[in-house]
Amino acid sequence: MKQSRYTGFAILLHWVMALLILVTWSIAIVVSDMPLSPTRIAGYSWHKWLGVTVFFLAVVRLLWRSTHPAPELNLRMPAWQERVMKLTHVALYLLMVAIPVVGWLMSSAKGYTVNYFGLFELPDLVEKDKALGHTLKEVHEWLANGLMALVVLHILAALKHQLIDKDGLLSRMSFRGARNEK
């Protein structure tokens, strides 16, 4: 029998990462306009800690996905929609890895060593370089905003499948797994 749903571990990773990505991005938006203060520094610390967590979980997710393929897509959709879906998923995975790496590079270039909840420090990836740090900041922000645009597209597509097409696609990634059988 072919699998119609993702594994419980994949579902858990999906929703935990979705929440972490949204919180991490939101923290950056909030603290970026704050004047220098202990609250801003704490906000950036949380942003970095959660960003590193997203990176670690993305690696785990990619390893899991390499040994646990996606369930078969048992519904009909136009070929262009399937291509957009596949490209969106590839872009989401790339960005979940690239954004934290660019953030890590940016911190290194700005002369700030990244630590993980005070448990250990990540090695600096580049020498301190103010101009490079500024460029990497712009790239980091651009990629993060692109990720959020893809997340919105991903959510809208899931809602379309659930509310308009009523094809049960969302049940593949739900804990309940209630599936509309037609």
pLDDT in tens, 16-32: 999 999 999 999 999 99
Residue 5, pLDDT score: 87
Q: pTM here? A: 0.89
Residues 67, 58: Cα–Cα separation, whole Å = 14
CA distance readout (Å), 168 to 8, 73, 80, 146, 154: 17, 11, 20, 28, 15
pLDDT, tens digit (0-9, with 9 covering 90-100), for 127-143: 999 999 999 999 999 99
Domains of the chain: 8-173 (1.20.950)
Query: Tokens 């610390």 label which residue?
Result: 45
Backbone angles phi, psi at 121, to 5 degrees: -105, 140
